[in-house]
Structure 1
Amino acid sequence: LLLLLLHLHLHKLKLSTSELHLRSPKAAPSPTTFFEVTRPVPSSNSSCSLLLLQHDFASTYSKPPATASYAPPRCLRRHLRRRSPVRAVLEWSAACRGRQFDRIFGVWLGGVELLRSCTAEPRPAGILWTVRKDVTKYSSLFASPQTLAVYLGNLVDSTYTGIYHVNVSLHFYFDSALAGASSHRRPPAFTSPADLVLPISRNLPLDDGLWFPIQNSTDVQSKHLAIPRNAYRAVVEVYISFHQDDEFWYTNPPDSYISANNFTGVPGNGAFREVTVRLDGEVVGAVWPFTVIYTGGINPLLWRPITGIGSFDLPSYDIEITPFLGKILDGQPHEFGFGVTDALDVWYVDANLHLWLDSQSSYSVGNLIKHEAPDFTPTVVSQFKGPDGKFMTSANRRISSTGWVKSSYGKITTHFFQRLNYENLMVFAANGSSQAVNQTIDSNYGTFTKNPSSVLYSEEVFQTFPLYVYTGNTDQTNDTYSTVVNVSLEFDEKRISGERFGFSFSNLRNLQTAEGNMTVKGNLVTSGIGSTQQVYRYESTDGCYFRNVSSSNYTILFDESEKSCTESASVSSGNFFTEWSTFPARGTYYASEEN
């Protein structure tokens, strides 16, 4: 019984909803629109659009991705010749009817991942949802023909009947109001889109997504790439999603707890995960990922129609590798790899390599001045009596690298650093039938670039990911049980970046709280209720956005939003650039990193 209760309250079962408990006084006559709360993507009236793919994803699991040929539309070619500012927006729109699990999917163009997302779970009356993502940073891809690939592994049978009907489109916007997006294109360019984006992903053809599946803690997946010799900046953008035994990795107890209680079939390896980014076998950066909860996760009733933070547009993570360019500007293939600490089956990881090229030179030279990525071990403190007790898991990580690159722009020194902190308190009670997880991930990283006379580009980002999850199970009979759930999920980010003659600042607080109960039989939610409230507040030098929305079982209770700024989101650029203008050409950390 303890084994069964533990297995259930860790939510390792995939759940789908039955409509038995969702009948309101009047049956829904039309499809429900699902949405993730985020600020709208800027656009303009001057645009052209291109339908890239129209496809029905039915029995597509372990089948080749759906593909289509992309060619730049005439309206885009005309603006590219004039070097006009362009904003590109990818749009995913989908409909589904029936019953289905949540499904992960990816969209790739030329092997470069543009979107990682999760489907919404349908209902008999049908659902709709749309994801619009600014993909301007991939602009170099859109200038030439490419192959579009979309993988959505779905299964259809007599019980799970939902077929996902999907349109994928690209919209290009041309407007003088967008000129600010390219106002810093004077050489060397740091804030404009990269001149070249290379995929660090698997190649077509294959019967899966283009991501690398990482199945355990020793599994390192990699790809060899040779980069142009005239590169002067390089950033690895990493896409990550976690599934199966590690979908709820932050709830996993250590293996020692499982063996001490003679449990079998319960996911373990503890609650800490790190994705490492490696260059020729050396760790050059790390990702401690945000805990995205998919639309069927923990209690599916919580995510109707407001979905979990990041579920429709999973975040990607940037690792600056410019300090290492001197080691890979030799025209030879080099290995870009990924691993996941303590991973259980399965993590999907791939990346895009963004490269800035010197059009005035055929080659650059460089040298790595210093790199530090010391090993570390998470600390686990436990106190237990039988299946009840608590674990406190903590970890911290420091990575930094400094190097220079010399091109026609002169000798430019770049410093990149990461500071990561992690705490997870996991408490089991009621003879193992309830679990509470209180976790916080703090991330501080930055890139600072200068020549001998001045700072050229600076960016620093502070992120905090608080998470609280409580689950308690009761009324266990055969394959049926009841559970109570409380969730608090938050994504906070402060970002400041710019050059000496211009800067930008943004502050985001995105908080989601949810609670509910449900009765589960097998893999079906047969009755229950779920409610969610979300407050999204974004302030920046480019504008503001606020939204406060609440829902309960498919019904929106209130929805308030505004786009105007109540207070000026500003910061003193003078102090910012003075602080970083004195960092040494050689050495370890900058001044602010020591404070």
Structure 2
Amino acid sequence: MTSRTTSSCLIFLLALLLPLAAVAVPRRHRFPSLQLAPVNSSEPPTTFFEVDRPIQPPRGSVGPCSALLLSDSFGYTYGRPPATAAYVPPECLAAGGSLALAVLEWSADCRGRQFDRIFGVWLSGAELLRSCTAEPRPNGILWSVSRDVTRYAALLSEPGEVAVYLGNIVDSTYTGVYHANLTLHLYFHPTTPSPPPPPPHADLILPISRSLPLNDGQWFAIQDSTDAQSKKLAIPSNTYRAVLEVFVSFHSSDEFWYTNPPNEYIEANNLSSVPGNGAFREVIVKVDDNVVGAVWPFTVIYTGGVNPLLWRPITGIGSFNLPTYDIDITPFLGKLMDGKEHNFGFAVTNALDMWYIDANLHLWLDHKSKKTVGSLISYDAASSANVDSEFSGLDGRFVTSASRHVSATGWVESSHGKVMTTFYQRFSYRNSNVYSKNGSEQVVNQTIDAKSGVSTTNGAVLLSEEVHQVFPLYLFSGTSDEVGDEYSLVSAVELGINEKRVSGAEQGFSYSSLRNAQSARGSMRVKGNLVTSGSGENHQVYKYVGTDGCYSRDVSSKNYTVVFDRSDDSCLKGSQVKGSRFPSS
């Protein structure tokens, strides 16, 4: 295995980073996948799931028209070429109907013992899904992931190639083989009465990723803070709008980057195997020499993280369907439509090995002209970061704060007139990382506050959208009862997403509010880096209210068993479940 291609779902980031000694040392938050509870072989497979709002076809739409894109088994696939299949647009799509909804569904099963594995799905080099597998049981597991891929309508209408990379390892201990089907479901507006006008999806999608053939995924692998990965692209001369959609996941030494202490703490305590560089990470997105935006990622915890029993069968927020992040680069188009190639690149502040990043460039083309013109009017990309450290031996407190502001305004003249676009991002970050009891306990309190907006005008407002997200995180990890190479570990995790979206366009006004909160806790007995016993429980409250409907779910699980599960799609007052611990954004 090379450090470049190893993902967090392949690395044993175990608790024991140093030989056990008379003093405690900070431990990591990943353990090998063991069966922590007896299994009756006659029991049916366990169904794992991530709580999310179900994707509903538009009212009156026709479908689904479904096509199996790929069916494969992922055994010993690490360091080998992705599974691929030729993509031919389904006949129903080629017939030219008005597409209402496209859903990509990944369904899989596995039996035996296996780690969680990161995987990606690409179509003609553009990533459509980033996900993590569930960890199996001897009697088997099932799970599925659905993602709305309607925004890729232009890509779906052209022949291409589907690629799936899932780097798995099978040996005498880790026996699980992942059997997966990838299916596309399409829904169409009825032909009568006249279908609504097509939504403003991009006319062209250019992948900013690595090209096949590869013995890895098509993502770029960022290995450290000095590593920058990029791709050169030429923009069509009749482009009038451009949006970068960025995929991000973090692994290996940076899988739990928000728990990392500063290097000075590591050096002072001679903890050379403990990941460092502090607890702040920022994905920087550049076009040529300009920072056009940033990603301060949601803290996804994969299905084997912290205590694997926390995420069975309810998985961590975003673990099955990792979020993507949009950056509108329309203000910079005046610099890009010169017929030359331009550099689209990524870097990660303070990064350790490994981050997987790629992007899709969504372009809107003016079909009534051969060339558009534009100019950047104003631009700013200011940032700051600060760390207050105080420690004595293995105990200490590290408070990290950071902020970032990116804004750009530019105009593009096309057959739509002279359109002025402003895009902005405002981020704030605070992380408190406390070690106590001779380093045997760690408490992390973190909040990421991200606000972004875009507006386009040509005398009248054509588009206005604002998104405000707050990502709260609390993590406690404590070890005790240490005898030789055996000890107990107690963990508690609270994480969530609070989000508000407001947008207005020629198609109308929309609003949504999401509060998604998880609270999980559990304990394990660890011997020689192997979990010998343990338990875990998880409670999640999901509330969505928007102009397109409502959905709520209150669900709890303990040791593979769902204790209760209540859901509601009514927008009536009082129908929403109660119990979120997180303040509103």
What is the TM-score of this pair, normalised by structure 2? Answer: 0.92
Deviations 1:328-379 (A, max 9, x none): 00111110000000000000000000001111111100000011012x3411
Indicate the residue corresponding to 1:546 in structure 2.
552
Residue 28 to residue 553, structure 1, CA distance change in 2 (3 Å):
farther
Give the residue type in structure 1 aligned to 2:73: D
**Is 1:16 aligned with 2:32?**
yes
Superposed displacement of residue 498, structure 1: 1.7
Superposed displacement of residue 522, structure 1: 3.8
**Is 1:160 aligned with 2:177?**
no
Q: Distance in 2 between matches of 1:517 and 1:177?
A: 57
Q: Distance in 1 between matches of 2:189 and 2:413?
A: 35
Superposed displacement of residue 174, structure 1: 1.5
* 3-state secondary structure, aligned to 1:258: helix
Q: Distance in 1 between matches of 2:84 and 2:512?
A: 37
Deviations 1:64-98 (A, max 9, x none): 100000101111111x2x4x233110000000001
Q: Distance in 2 between matches of 1:542 and 1:202?
A: 37
Question: 1:298-377 maps to which residues of 2 (within 5 A)?
Answer: 298-374=306-382, 376-377=383-384
Indicate the residue corresponding to 1:124 in structure 2.
138
Superposed displacement of residue 502, structure 1: 1.2
**Is 1:417 aligned with 2:427?**
no
Q: Distance in 2 between matches of 1:178 and 1:477?
A: 74
Indicate the residue corresponding to 2:583 in structure 1.
none
* 3-state secondary structure, aligned to 2:334: helix
Contact persistence 1:292–1:310 (CA under 8 A): yes
Q: Distance in 2 between matches of 1:446 and 1:32?
A: 41
* 3-state secondary structure, aligned to 1:439: strand
Contact persistence 1:486–1:514 (CA under 8 A): yes
Deviations 1:289-308 (A, max 9, x none): 00000000011010000000
Contact persistence 1:9–1:473 (CA under 8 A): no
Residue 179 to residue 140, structure 1, CA distance change in 2 (3 Å):
farther
Residue 77 to residue 251, structure 1, CA distance change in 2 (3 Å):
same
Give the residue type in structure 2 aligned to 1:271: A
Q: Distance in 2 between matches of 1:402 and 1:178?
A: 42
Indicate the residue corresponding to 2:304 in structure 1.
296
Contact persistence 1:87–1:178 (CA under 8 A): no
Give the residue type in structure 2 aligned to 1:87: L
Deviations 1:537-573 (A, max 9, x none): 000000000000000000000000011112499xxxx
Residue 535 to residue 292, structure 1, CA distance change in 2 (3 Å):
same
Contact persistence 2:375–2:412 (CA under 8 A): yes
Give the residue type in structure 2 aligned to 1:16: P
Indicate the residue corresponding to 1:244 in structure 2.
252
Superposed displacement of residue 28, structure 1: 5.7
Decide which of 476, 483, 486 is 2:489's aligned counterpart: 483
The structure richer in helix per residue is 1
Decide which of 557, 563, 578 is 2:569's aligned counterpart: 563
Deviations 1:245-280 (A, max 9, x none): 000000000001111112111100000000000001
Indicate the residue corresponding to 2:413 in structure 1.
406
Q: Which one is further off, 521-530 or 213-222?
A: 521-530
Identical-pair percentage:
61
Residue 71 to residue 46, structure 1, CA distance change in 2 (3 Å):
same
* 3-state secondary structure, aligned to 2:99: coil
Indicate the residue corresponding to 1:267 in structure 2.
275
Question: 1:432-511 maps to which residues of 2 (within 5 A)?
Answer: 432-451=439-458, 453-499=459-505, 502-511=508-517
Deviations 1:13-59 (A, max 9, x none): x423322x4126x5661100000000001135522111011100011
Give the residue type in structure 2 aligned to 1:386: G
Q: Distance in 1 between matches of 2:552 and 2:47?
A: 20
Indicate the residue corresponding to 2:10 in structure 1.
none
Indicate the residue corresponding to 1:385 in structure 2.
392
* 3-state secondary structure, aligned to 1:137: helix
Give the residue type in structure 2 aligned to 1:106: G
Deviations 1:431-484 (A, max 9, x none): 100100000000000001000x21110000000000000000112334432100
Q: Distance in 2 between matches of 1:223 and 1:10?
A: 37
Q: Which blocks of at least 5 consecutive residues in structure 2 are unaligned?
A: 1-15, 576-585
Contact persistence 1:16–1:99 (CA under 8 A): no
Q: Which blocks of at least 5 consecutive residues in structure 1 are unaligned?
A: 186-190, 570-595
Give the residue type in structure 2 aligned to 1:473: T
* 3-state secondary structure, aligned to 1:507: strand
Q: Distance in 1 between matches of 2:47 and 2:86?
A: 30
Contact persistence 1:443–1:463 (CA under 8 A): yes
What is the TM-score of this pair, normalised by structure 1? Answer: 0.90
Give the residue type in structure 2 aligned to 1:329: M
Indicate the residue corresponding to 1:285 in structure 2.
293
Contact persistence 2:524–2:532 (CA under 8 A): yes
Q: Distance in 1 between matches of 2:482 and 2:45?
A: 34
* 3-state secondary structure, aligned to 2:439: coil
Indicate the residue corresponding to 1:583 in structure 2.
none
Indicate the residue corresponding to 2:73 in structure 1.
56
Deviations 1:484-504 (A, max 9, x none): 001001011100112256110
For the aligned residue pairs, the C-alpha RMSD in angstroms reads: 2.1
**Is 1:140 aligned with 2:154?**
yes
Contact persistence 2:465–2:502 (CA under 8 A): yes
Contact persistence 1:7–1:266 (CA under 8 A): no
Q: Distance in 2 between matches of 1:265 and 1:425?
A: 22
Contact persistence 1:15–1:101 (CA under 8 A): no
Indicate the residue corresponding to 1:395 in structure 2.
402
Indicate the residue corresponding to 1:534 in structure 2.
540
Contact persistence 2:385–2:400 (CA under 8 A): yes
**Is 1:516 aligned with 2:522?**
yes
Give the residue type in structure 2 aligned to 1:15: F
**Is 1:428 aligned with 2:428?**
no
Give the residue type in structure 2 aligned to 1:457: L
Contact persistence 1:475–1:482 (CA under 8 A): yes
Q: Distance in 1 between matches of 2:233 and 2:422?
A: 23
Deviations 1:392-442 (A, max 9, x none): 100011110000000111100000000000000011011100100000000
Contact persistence 2:105–2:144 (CA under 8 A): yes
Superposed displacement of residue 177, structure 1: 11
Q: Distance in 2 between matches of 1:543 and 1:283?
A: 37
Q: Distance in 2 between matches of 1:228 and 1:150?
A: 29
